[in-house]
Amino acid sequence: MHRDARSIPEILRQLESLYGKQEPGWPSDPYDFLVWWHCGYPASDTSCAKGWEKLNSEVGVEPRQLLAAGAARLARVLKAGGMVPELRAMRLMEIAARIQDEYGGDLRAGLAGPLSKVRQALKRFPNIADPGADRILLFGGIAPVPAVPSNCPHVLVRIQRGQERENYGVTYREAQEAIEAEIPKNFDARTRAYLLVKRHGQTVCKRRNPECENCPISSSCAFFAANTAAVAPV
Binding site for ligand SF4 (CB under 6 A): 158-159, 204-205, 210-212, 215, 217-218, 221, 223-224
For residue 203, the minimal CB distance to ligand SF4 (Å) is 9
For residue 199, the minimal CB distance to ligand SF4 (Å) is 12
139 or 223: whose CB is closer to ligand SF4? 223
118 or 205: whose CB is closer to ligand SF4? 205
8 or 74: whose CB is closer to ligand SF4? 8
Count of Cβ atoms closer than 10 Å to residue 112 Cβ: 10
C-alpha 112/C-alpha 92 separation (Å) is 23
Are 54 and 77 in contact by the 8 Å Cβ rule? The answer is: yes
For residue 221, the minimal CB distance to ligand SF4 (Å) is 3
Instruction: Tell me how many degrees the CA angle 155-204-224 measures, rounded to the nearest 5.
Output: 60
For residue 116, the minimal CB distance to ligand SF4 (Å) is 33
28 or 202: whose CB is closer to ligand SF4? 202
The residue type at 155: V
For residue 209, the minimal CB distance to ligand SF4 (Å) is 10
For residue 214, the minimal CB distance to ligand SF4 (Å) is 8
End-to-end, the C-alpha distance of the chain in Å comes to 22
176 or 218: whose CB is closer to ligand SF4? 218
121 or 196: whose CB is closer to ligand SF4? 196
